[in-house]
A and B are shown apart, each in its own frame.
Chain A
Amino acid sequence: MKYGLLSITVLILANISCTTSQSPALRWVEDIPFDPAVDNPNFELCFGEDHAIQYYRVSNNTGSKHNKPKFVSFIEEQTKSIKFKNESGYIRVRFIVNCKGEADRFRILESSLDNKPKSFSKQTSEKLLKVIKAIDKWHTGNNMTKTDFYLYVLFKIVDGKIVKILP
């Protein structure tokens, strides 16, 4: 009897452990689930997790594409005093913009110029992330197309210089 109860307890605990250690299956590839360790708990999606779409499905002029020259000037201005190390590769900052134009859940992906995983110096990626986070309002398209969406900014860096900002 004692061993029976013990076995049941162990099974229940094992089940709880399995349930909590599994991360929920993603709806889409490249979705960004909320991470309490790094994300703002007050950031809200207007229409819920299941309705956030990709930036290009909102309208033709969302995010950085709305006014690219202004966006590029802003990035250049913000990064001109930054001394990047002599590194090359891509740094992608991907995040979610809600229907009010607020952004959060920033994630960084780094690669070499031949598209292999690599790590930039923390100083480089963190500074770029800080610049993107400093944008407090993103363009969300017109009133008819207000929605939550995923957006990214890709920096192409060659020998410590940003040579291209995409998309």
Chain B
Amino acid sequence: MKTIFCLLLFGYSVCHLSSQPNCNVYLWEGDTIQYEACKLSHNFKYIYQFETRAIALLDSCISICPYYAFAYYEKAVPFLKAGNPIEWDKNINLAVKYDPITYLGTRASCRGKFFADYDGAIRDIDSLSLIINGDIGYTHDGTYHLEMYKGLCYKAKGDFQKSIEIIERFINSHPSDIGFYDFLHLGVAYQETGNHNMAIKYFLKQQEVNDIAENRFYIAKSYLHLKELSNFHISIKKAKEKIKQNQKMNNKYHVLEDEIFEQDVFKLQNDSMLK
């Protein structure tokens, strides 16, 4: 029941993150041009974002208010989902230009996730930290806190030590913001540095928060390295079971950082026989 509630809350939060702006805010600020563009953009929710008439509607909003960031952001999204870096970048940059507080974090995580542009993502997160006093918020899909995501970007760049520093600092300072996969990534970063005891510590923590095939797989790897064969066999068996039950990382757009596949498990098993 608790899990269902959390999932519903998470789903609601994600929907809320990508929702349309409250037009009255612009009216209260005396910005009637942006208010008019915003009112028109409410029709956008009835049109599929890839449709050319959706783009035409957003262009109409922009012609009313050339600094209406939401319209640029929504124009960028279908290109992002189609893997088009040129059109995505052109539009999201304008969204960031006109509303950096709302869209810098989004650009950061999309740069990392969709284009493996980890340096760009880190730059955006740092820029956001400079203009926000307090919490910088979450990635575009709500999976990670942006401070955690910065650590993940360093990990993807191969700078595991820096990644560990950032993620541990985040976990210690934001205990209530720890995400579904944070301990897993930290464990993998430790594993990459050869510190298997610390890696195991965090895989076991991940097991408590969200026990998926990935933490069982990576813990098996560390057990194998430490020659704890009994634990290795238990973990690898569990990883296989969890893959079969689809209790694993999954995302409809992309393969995620540290996500594993059945083939990875078989390969690790074969490697263990060779040792």
Contacts and interface: CB of A to CB of B under 8 A. Distances in A.
B52 A68 contact: no
B115 A27 contact: no
Given A68-B261, A70-B263, A111 B86 contact: yes
Interface stretch (A38-46, A113-121, A128-136): A113-121
A106 B175 CA distance: 47
A7 interface: no
Contact of A166 (B79, B88, B115, B262): B115
Interface residues of A, number: 33
Contacts of A115: 85-86, 88-90, 115
Interface in A128-167: 150, 152, 154, 156, 163-164, 166-167
Interface string B254-275: 1100010111100100000000
A48 interface: no
A166 B52 contact: no
Interface stretch (B135-143, B178-186, B187-195, B245-253): B245-253
A36 interface: no
Interface in A13-36: 25-30
B85 A111 contact: yes
Nearest to B81: A54
Contacts of B267: 69
Contact of B83 (A29, A57, A60, A154): A154
- Counting chain A CB atoms within 10 Å of each CB, which of B89, B253, B262 scores highest? B253
A33 B114 CA distance: 25
B52 A29 contact: yes
B66 interface: no
A117 B86 contact: yes
Interface in A53-90: 54, 56-57, 60, 65, 67-70, 90
Contacts of B250: 60
A25 to B, nearest CB: 7
Given A90-B115, A166-B254, A30 B86 contact: no
Interface of A is mostly: mixed
B217 to A, nearest CB: 12
A27 B49 CA distance: 11
Nearest to B50: A28
- Counting chain B CB atoms within 10 Å of each CB, which of A109, A114, A115, A163 scores highest? A115
A104 to B, nearest CB: 17
A132 to B, nearest CB: 13
A105 interface: no
A167 B83 contact: yes
Interface of B: 48, 50-52, 55, 78-79, 81-86, 88-90, 114-117, 250-255, 259, 261-264, 267
Interface of A: 25-30, 54, 56-57, 60, 65, 67-70, 90, 92, 94, 109, 111, 113-117, 150, 152, 154, 156, 163-164, 166-167
